[in-house]
Structure 1
Amino acid sequence: MSNLNPSLPLAGVRVLDLSRVLAGPWCGMVLGDLGAEVIKVEHPKRGDDTRDWGLRIGSTETAYFNSVNRNKRSVSLDLQTAEGQQIARDLAQKSDVVIQNFKFGGMEKLGLGYEQLKQNHEDLIYCSISGYDRTGPEAARPGYDLVVQGEAGLMALNGEAGQPPLKFGIAAVDMFTGMYSAQAILAALFERQRTGKGHHIEMALFDCGLMITSYCGVEALIAGEDTPRYGNAHPSIVPYGVFDAADGPLVITVGNNNQFARFCREVIERPDLAEDDRFQTNIGRAANRAVLVPEIDREIGRRERRSLLDRLTQAGIPCGEVLGLHEALTSKRAHDAGLVTTHPHPEVGSTQVLAPPWRFDGARLPVRSAPPRLGEGTDDVLQTLLGLSGEQLSRLKADGVI
């Protein structure tokens, strides 16, 4: 296959990605970024749902789809046909990992459930992603990121005090579920080297959504009530958040008592605040934030951002500008790090693809192939892996199977 690289960590691992939308495809992309060969199965006409979401790129891609499907091949296959199901079973038998997020029981109806596939493939690693616990009463409920953000308490901890619950700007539950799923698959691959056996990994959006409440969740359990919301401020560290300089916002993160003393003396020139008994410790500053923060806001607001950033840096206090999304993506920092790559596209000339975040031995893992057009790898994959002839492929296309 054209996008394989034998030097990457997961070279030689084949993944059959039967998932769609975000959590499952994100998991598959992580494995693909690490070097696995990822075969993404999609409906021949509709493709993944996200091929119809957001800004269009060519005739079959969108920004949403492209954000989670780099380093994959697309095979178009109608799983509602008997022949399509058999082809998928044959591909699964030649794969190390299967990822699916069909409705509960849906894969079993297609003959593609874990118990069905593992009979002739004991070392298969099979990852099922659902909305809720597959052993509980809500197993059949569909899972959606926004619903789970509400049910897991994430919306309740996000946003400003006194304002309605607020979702994250991205589908955080889907993305974390995809990353947790990839971690579990990597652990199963590692264990398989010792035991020769596979696993059925079961992941739920709700479980992952609850996990990412993190320290806020633990504090809510200890307090016996919801934790307060602080917007861009930190619930435990003061001053720590977004502040408005005279010419724009910046982030200031004063992490300890020594930094606070330097901040007061060297940055805002208010040694009296550093000497005030109420503000000597972070616990004291947090307890008295209603008094302290307005004083800091006043001092920050009458200074220009560049001057503040220079002073903060000299004082050894972490800080930064608040950039727009496009500013961040096109910044010198992003360019120098190689985080945005450009690839040829047969319809629109070129397309931009974000690069994987990992570096191994100093080198960023490559984008081996841009997100695929719908079905672009069908003929190659089915000929190479399953030995189908040109005549067979033509008949399958005529029948709408591929």
Structure 2
Amino acid sequence: MSKMNAALPLAGVRVLDLSRVLAGPWCAMVLGDLGAEVIKVEHPTRGDDTRDWGLRVGATETTYFNSVNRNKRSVCLDLQTAEGQQIARDLARQSDVVLQNFKFGGAEKLGLGYEQLREGRDDLIYLSIAGYDRHGPEAARPGYDIVVQGEAGLMAMNGNADQPPLKFGIAAVDLFTGMYSAQAVLAALFERQKTGAGRHIEMALFDCGLMITSYCGLESMKLDSDPPRYGNAHPSIVPYGVFDAQDGPLVIAVGTNRQYERFCREVIERPDLVDDERFRTNIVRAANRDVLVPELKRAIGMHARQVLLERLVGAGIPCGEVLGLHEALTSKRASEAGLVTTYAHPEAGDTHVLAPPYRFDGARLPVRSGPPQLGEGTDDVLRSLLGLSEERLSRLKSEGVV
């Protein structure tokens, strides 16, 4: 282990990632970013489903796959074979954490369920990710992000009032489930230091999707109905949202009455909107948004974006440009922060990968390895951890087990 790896928070923790697609791999990547050794188990010919999603990078990777699989090793095992299952069990015994998102009962059929793997390993931390509560009537239902976005009310709270239900631009339920799962694993690792005991952590996409309705969810319960949808605007703060300047959109977030006064006097030069009794406080501004917002839009549209941004900054009002995705990724801000980096790909040349968002003691955690080619770590991992001989590896390959 290098000195850099040894200094990482989860150095010395080994994770066996039996999951695929997004929520589980995202969780495993978070743990890998923090320093854990992550062994990703994939089918020898198909690999993870996401190796076929998105834009192709080399022979076995895609942009989708690469977005959730940095800092991992890929080991190919056919888990439908008895020998592949046994190798997976052997790897689990050498691991601190096992994650899986098989269909309900699938892990147990393969001999890779929690009760099966914890025999002789009471300190194992085992994470199961499913679509729905594994103890409820929908335990066997498969979970898909877009379905849960609909069922959890997320589509109903997204977009403008005159639009049909709208999904998020990214798979928000999957990603939040992955983050919640990583938090739970970290908590279990911390607890294990005190008790020496492992845990079976169970996460459901629906549970996490409902949780991220957050304050909108509580407003819905208070109203006993769906709250109104405001698109880019805020339900209770005015002005707040995306506005069009002469030459492009910008975000303006006027959070206090004093900011509103400065905004009207110093930014858009409309002091009359301060003195109007209908707009003096945020509560009445929100109640009269249908009258106020058109006036603000007209005033904002009379100025160039850069002029407005300079005035807004001078007045101490939160603001920013609305950038395209490529603009944001290639911006000076992203570059200076080191958020987008490249790694040397043996087939595709220098390839982009996003860097971990964490900083410890002022330093961003590194991308120790790019997303793995399919099976790149099979021989090395099975030799070093399980002591498999070259003869056995050769036989396993010829039989399609690895």
TM-score by length of structure 1 reads 0.99
Root-mean-square deviation (CA, aligned residues, Å) is: 1.0
Aligned partner of 1:150 in structure 2 is: 150
Q: Is this contact kept in 2: 1:42–1:76, CA < 8 A?
A: yes
Q: Distance in 2 between matches of 1:141 and 1:4?
A: 43
Aligned partner of 1:258 in structure 2 is: 258
> Pairwise mapping of residues 242-257 of structure 1 onto structure 2 (< 5 A)?
242-257=242-257
Q: Distance in 1 between matches of 2:3 and 2:88?
A: 21
Aligned partner of 2:167 in structure 1 is: 167
Q: Distance in 1 between matches of 2:242 and 2:328?
A: 17
Q: Distance in 2 between matches of 1:128 and 1:281?
A: 49
Aligned partner of 2:228 in structure 1 is: 228
- Alignment: residue pair count: 402
Query: What amino acid does structure 1 have at the position aligned with 2:208?
Result: C
Post-superposition Cα deviations, 1:129-152, rounded to whole Å, max 9, x if no partner, equal 000000000000000000000000
Post-superposition Cα deviations, 1:125-180, rounded to whole Å, max 9, x if no partner, equal 00000000000000000000000000000000001112100000000000000000
Q: Distance in 2 between matches of 1:103 and 1:366?
A: 34
State the Cα distance separating 1:348 from its structure 2 match. 1.1
Q: Distance in 2 between matches of 1:82 and 1:271?
A: 77
Aligned partner of 2:47 in structure 1 is: 47
Q: Distance in 2 between matches of 1:89 and 1:367?
A: 29
Give the secondary structure class of the aligned counterpart of 1:231.
coil
Query: What amino acid does structure 2 have at the position aligned with 1:50?
Result: T
Post-superposition Cα deviations, 1:257-284, rounded to whole Å, max 9, x if no partner, equal 1111100110011111112222122111
Aligned partner of 1:73 in structure 2 is: 73
Q: Distance in 2 between matches of 1:40 and 1:216?
A: 37
Aligned partner of 1:297 in structure 2 is: 297
Q: Distance in 1 between matches of 2:282 and 2:289?
A: 10
Query: What amino acid does structure 2 have at the position aligned with 1:127?
Result: L
> Pairwise mapping of residues 1-400 of structure 1 onto structure 2 (< 5 A)?
5-400=5-400
State the Cα distance separating 1:302 from its structure 2 match. 1.0
Post-superposition Cα deviations, 1:56-103, rounded to whole Å, max 9, x if no partner, equal 000000000000000000000000000000000000001000010000
**Cα separation, partners in 2 of 1:388 and 1:33, compared to 1, 3 Å:** same
Query: What amino acid does structure 1 have at the position aligned with 2:43?
Result: H
Post-superposition Cα deviations, 1:175-205, rounded to whole Å, max 9, x if no partner, equal 0000000000000000000100000000000
Q: Distance in 2 between matches of 1:361 and 1:4?
A: 13
Q: Distance in 1 between matches of 2:120 and 2:113?
A: 13
Give the secondary structure class of the aligned counterpart of 2:385.
helix
State the Cα distance separating 1:401 from its structure 2 match. 0.4
Give the secondary structure class of the aligned counterpart of 1:120.
coil
Q: Distance in 2 between matches of 1:222 and 1:318?
A: 30
Q: Distance in 2 between matches of 1:188 and 1:40?
A: 21
Query: What amino acid does structure 2 have at the position aligned with 1:98?
Result: V
Q: Distance in 1 between matches of 2:125 and 2:119?
A: 13
Q: Distance in 1 between matches of 2:345 and 2:228?
A: 48
Post-superposition Cα deviations, 1:109-140, rounded to whole Å, max 9, x if no partner, equal 00000011111110000000000000000000
**Cα separation, partners in 2 of 1:152 and 1:298, compared to 1, 3 Å:** same
Counting aligned pairs with the same residue, the percent is 80
Q: Distance in 2 between matches of 1:186 and 1:276?
A: 53
Query: What amino acid does structure 1 have at the position aligned with 2:381?
Result: V
Q: Is this contact kept in 2: 1:80–1:110, CA < 8 A?
A: yes
Query: What amino acid does structure 1 have at the position aligned with 2:178?
Result: G
Unmatched segments (≥5 aa) in structure 1: none
The runs of 4+ residues in structure 1 deviating greater than 6 Å are 1-4
State the Cα distance separating 1:342 from its structure 2 match. 0.8
Unmatched segments (≥5 aa) in structure 2: none
State the Cα distance separating 1:340 from its structure 2 match. 0.6
Post-superposition Cα deviations, 1:336-373, rounded to whole Å, max 9, x if no partner, equal 00001111010011111000001000000000000000
* Worse-matched range after superposition: 275-284 or 306-315: 275-284
Q: Distance in 2 between matches of 1:397 and 1:2?
A: 31
Query: What amino acid does structure 1 have at the position aligned with 2:207?
Result: D
State the Cα distance separating 1:4 from its structure 2 match. 7.5
State the Cα distance separating 1:228 from its structure 2 match. 0.6
Q: Is this contact kept in 2: 1:152–1:206, CA < 8 A?
A: yes
